[in-house]
Structure 1
């Protein structure tokens, strides 16, 4: 889990799997609308490193070798706020593609 805590006391806990499947990298998002690549088999992925990127975000390094994509603070906040909806969307996309989560 990555927990984000804000000055006003708001906090969000984001699982490694969630962060991995919603990576802002081109490998996941593609290079334009409709080019997103569904990430499967990421249930057991962990974060092995967190690197600061200037003052605006972080780069996460995952146990599956994925280390591209910069999570800026605004993007992380939006992931936290929209987590339930985004997770449901991910589960529906998996089902539509004929994949089932293992765990």
Structure 2
């Protein structure tokens, strides 16, 4: 993870839109981006989601309804949201947020492709590690 560079755009405003489930990032140049909570959640930079190395990511599913219940600043460089599913260990640096904002279409496509490859749906409930496997229909 690269640190902040002088080129990293730092938002002048951050708005949590609970009803529409988007995090709005407003920048000094007038740009504004709306990042869906679901996207933020499934690409959380936490070890729990990213694992500790390439290929160890845990595919996140069933996060369409997730909301951000609280958001805190970390120093002057990041945001740490608490999600309604209890996930709170992701620390989103300004450069990560900006990157996600400008690449969100690409990130969505990659996420949907991963779901398809895994044979699961966006709305498949997450299986807790160690939980019994088996499907009830």
Structure 1 length-normalised TM: 0.95
Gaps of 5+ in 1: none
Please tell me the root mean square deviation across aligned C-alpha atoms, in Å: 0.8
Give the structure 2 partner of residue 41 of structure 1. 62
Aligned residue for 1:12, secondary structure, equals strand
1:42-91 alpha-carbon deviations (Å, 9 max, x no partner): 11100000011000011010000000021010100000011000000000
Correspondence list, 1:10-29, <5 A: 10-29=31-50
- Which one has a bigger Cα radius of gyration? 2
Within 2, Cα distance between the matches of 1:9 and 1:36? 35
Give the structure 2 partner of residue 91 of structure 1. 112
Give aligned pairs, total: 102
Within 1, Cα distance between the matches of 2:91 and 2:74? 8
